[in-house]
Amino acid sequence: MMMMSNEQEGEIVCLEKSSVLKGRKLIVGMCLTPSCREMLTWTIAKIAQPGDHILVLHLTSSLCGILSLYQGLCKLKNIKMELEIVKGGKLKHVLVEAACSHRASKLILGTKWHFSICSRATALGRYCVKRLPSTCMVVIVENREIILNKKGKLQLLQVSSMHLINHQSSSTQIMLKIPPQICTNRKVLTCRNLSVLQQVESISVDRPYSKFSFVELEAATASFSPTNLVGRGGGSEVYRGELQDGKLVAIKCLNQGGLQAEEELLTEIEINTCLSHANIVSLTGYCVEPAHLILVYDFLPEGTLDDHLHGGEKKLLAWEVRYKVAVGMCKALEYLHDGIPQPVIHMDVKASNILLSHDFQPQLSDFGLAKWAPKRPMYIHCNDVVGTFGYLAPEYFMYGRVNDKTDVYSFGVVLLELITGRKPIDTTRPKGEENLVIWARPLLDERNLDKLVDPRLGSTYNVCQMQTMISAASLCVQQSSQRRPQISQVLKLLGEDNNGKEEGLSSLQKHGLGVSMDSDEEEGSHFDGSPNYRDHEADIRTHLALAMLGVDANDDAVSESSIDYSSTYLCSTYLEDYLADRFSLPVSFEDH
């Protein structure tokens, strides 16, 4: 029998391999919550019988994820790396025991403590030095180091002298961090950035990016002059730069001072090596130096969608452009989810990560939080919820569950922004209107164009496209992730891919609706907002939306109770009337 606990939901799942407990090996999946301890007690008291063997399994998936980043480098250097979970009480005892039992030649430790030289880290170092044989060197690393030899004498060394330390392995030594205020010589390559650089070089081996020196980037930006500063993110500053060959680039300087910047840089480069798409920003190169972690991208002169929709200073974003942005982003996500051998979840789809070229072609940027997608219909569990409030899918926000539908939800929020011109969270709005999805949901159900559509657009939009976009948005922001369509289905709904019309038609025919559509009727040809538009396509696409709902509802993975029928209701009510009226077709959506 195998039992795993679902920490966030507080439920215990028992997977019984065989109904008869013969062989008597019980595996208990254990995390550190009280409900897990309760589960273990229950297993011991109620399930296990004398002679049984209980194996307690603790999965450290986040650490495994980080270690997998190093696989390339280890392979390159022909190094074997293993993860070992050790049991024990005090850290110092565990460390010494492990070093002795493995006959380690070096015990290398990182530290997050900010300490003075006479602090706890020194004490830990001294403890280890005393108890370990002289064949084992103790090294504590962070930024700059001090070597503490056996006699307790302090000697200042630079990390570039690491090889020197390696040659002295006969004498036991400790390296300690100097607190930041004592660090004066910033030119020394830190251990950390050295390892980041090695990893970058190993993961980008198939796609060599330009490796810029900081001096080159200084020259490109007039010494990072404030006039070239184009934007600030949560952990970065972005400058416009011109390279020697005249190419314009965006230079993103990650704020140093933590693992986060390193992880972002490595993830961005690792994932970008697998990507090439017209709607995804191209990474040109990087700069990794002692005090600098920098990413260099193609420069997109029109800035972000966020600036255009909510910036205030920009010209009104025309409907035509809004629709183009929606389709372009949908294509980028379809490429990530379905178009590459190892699919990717972006994890931070939002208006400020959608950049616009001179002709307003959208490009998705910022892969620092991206993840390799799990196989459908599985999801991955994330303990840290990162991303942007207002765009986070409910199951991710509440339970840390991630799969491709996480991006679909965020994309739905972007569609709502394009339709309404409102921000996802706007605390200046009256009560009840602050959260865009909550405010929009009943209006989407009613198809209340008067209230939904950005008042700045007036009547300058294509009603057919607006209806389609509203259908897509209402499907994408559904509470239940299983009920959300896959992004490829959303792309069919929005059209503008070559197969959209035919697939839309064939789907209608499959559902017994023989609707003809003029082949010369080009989508987007009516921009006058007139009520006399011929909008067969909108009907077809909205019907497709319903077909999707039907498909998902039959999915075994969807339990009855998890289905939110409200949007089925909203689409069908609208469509039954509409199709019956337009095409004199008796339509009933009961079957779907």
Ligand X SMILES: Nc1ncnc2c1ncn2[C@@H]1O[C@H](COP(=O)(O)OP(=O)(O)OP(=O)(O)O)[C@@H](O)[C@H]1O
250 touches ligand X (CB under 6 A)? yes
In this structure, are residues 172 and 207 in contact, taking their beta carbons and an 8 Å threshold? no
Q: Which of 245, 307, 338, 348 is catalytic?
A: 348
The single residue among 159, 300, 326, 579 that binds ligand X, judged by CB under 6 A, is 300
Provide, rounded to whole angstroms, the least separation between the CB of residue 71 and ligand X: 27
Residue with smaller CB distance to ligand X, 53 or 232: 232
Q: CB burial class (10 A; 0-12, 13-18, 19+) of residue 228?
A: middle
Task: Dihedral sign for Cα 418, 423, 428, 433, please.
Answer: positive
Residue 252 marked ligand-binding: yes
List, as one string, the DSSP characters of 263-316: HHHHHHHHHHTT---TTBPPEEEEEEETTEEEEEEE--TT-BHHHHHH-SSSPP
Task: Count Cβ atoms within 10 A of the Cβ of residue 79 and give its class: 0-12 exposed, 13-18 middle, 19 or more buried.
Answer: exposed
With CB under 6 A as the contact rule, the residue among 4, 132, 281, 570 that binds ligand X is 281
Are the C-beta atoms of 539 and 578 separated by less than 8 Å? yes
Q: Does 286 bind ligand X (CB under 6 A)?
A: no
Cα gap 96→159, rounded to integer Å: 25
Q: Which positions from 327 to 366 touch ligand X by CB under 6 A, shown as an x/- string? A: ---------------------x---xx-x---------xx
Contact 414, 384 (CB under 8 A): no
What's the closest the beta carbon of residue 355 comes to ligand X, in angstroms? 5
CB of 368 to ligand X, least distance (A): 7
Q: In whole angstroms, what is the distance from residue 344 CA to residue 372 CA?
A: 5
Q: Does 260 bind ligand X (CB under 6 A)?
A: no
To ligand X, the closest distance from the beta carbon of 380 in angstroms equals 20
Q: Which is nearer to ligand X, 230 or 548 (CB)?
A: 230
Helix spans in 132-258 (H): 162-167, 191-203, 214-220
Strands 2-6 and 25-29: parallel
> Are 171 and 150 within 8 A, CB to CB?
yes
- Selected binder of ligand X within 190, 199, 236, 572 (CB under 6 A): 236
Q: Which residue has the tokens 């830990």?
A: 124
Burial, 331: exposed, middle or buried (Cβ in 10 Å; 0-12, 13-18, 19+)?
buried
Contact at 8 Å (CB) between 371 and 344?
Answer: yes
Q: Is 555 a catalytic residue?
A: no
List all residues 6 or more positions away from 463 whose beta carbon is below 8 Å from its beta carbon.
449, 526, 529, 531, 533, 535, 538
Q: Which of 72, 233, 374, 421 binds ligand X (CB under 6 A)?
A: 233
- Choice between 235 and 374, CB closer to ligand X: 235
Number of H helices, E strands in the chain: 20, 21
**435 near ligand X (CB under 6 A):** no
Residues numbered 512-531 forming contacts with ligand X, rule: CB under 6 A? none
Residue 179 near ligand X by CB under 6 A: no
- Positions in 364-423 near ligand X (CB under 6 A): 365-366
In the list 297, 391, 574, 589, the residue contacting ligand X (rule: CB under 6 A) is 297
* Tally of CB atoms within 10 A around 196: 20
Q: Of 193, 304, 467, 478, which one interacts with ligand X (CB under 6 A)?
A: 304
Residue matched to tokens 């095409």: 583
For residues 292 and 582, which CB has a smaller minimum distance to ligand X in the complex? Answer: 292
Of the candidate residues 144, 192, 252, 536, the single one contacting ligand X (CB under 6 A) = 252
Nearer to ligand X, 308 or 526 (CB): 308
Residue closer to ligand X (CB basis): 262 or 552: 262
Q: CB 410 → ligand X: shortest distance, Å?
A: 12
Binding of ligand X by 193 (CB under 6 A): no
> What number of chain residues touch ligand X (CB under 6 A)?
23
Q: Residues 490, 548: contact at Cβ < 8 Å? A: no
Which range, of 102-110, 124-132, 300-308, 433-441, touches ligand X by CB under 6 A? Answer: 300-308
Q: C-alpha angle with apex 541: 587 to 436, nearest 5 degrees?
A: 110
Choice from 65, 72, 179, 231 touching ligand X (CB under 6 A): 231
Burial 160-175 (b: 16+ CB within 10 A, else e): eebeebeeeeeebbbb
The DSSP call for residue 241 is: E
Q: Following DSSP, what letter does each residue of 25-93 receive, concatenated?
A: EEEEE--SSHHHHHHHHHIIIII--TT-EEEEE---HHHHHHHHTTHHHHHHTT----------SSHHH
Stretch that binds ligand X, among 92-100, 230-238, 323-331, 458-466 (CB under 6 A): 230-238
Which stretch, 71-79, 84-92, 291-299, 390-398, contacts ligand X (CB under 6 A)?
Answer: 291-299
Dihedral sign for Cα atoms in the order 293, 298, 300, 306: negative
CB of 4 or CB of 347, closer to ligand X: 347
CB of 475 to ligand X, least distance (A): 26
In whole angstroms, the minimum distance from the beta carbon of 84 to ligand X comes to 35
Least separation in angstroms between residue 388's CB and ligand X is: 6
Q: Which is nearer to ligand X, 191 or 253 (CB)?
A: 253
Residues forming the annotated binding site for ATP? 252
Contact positions vs ligand X (CB under 6 A)? 230-236, 238, 250, 252, 281, 297-300, 303-304, 348, 352-353, 355, 365-366
Give the active site residues: 348
Residues forming the annotated binding site? 252
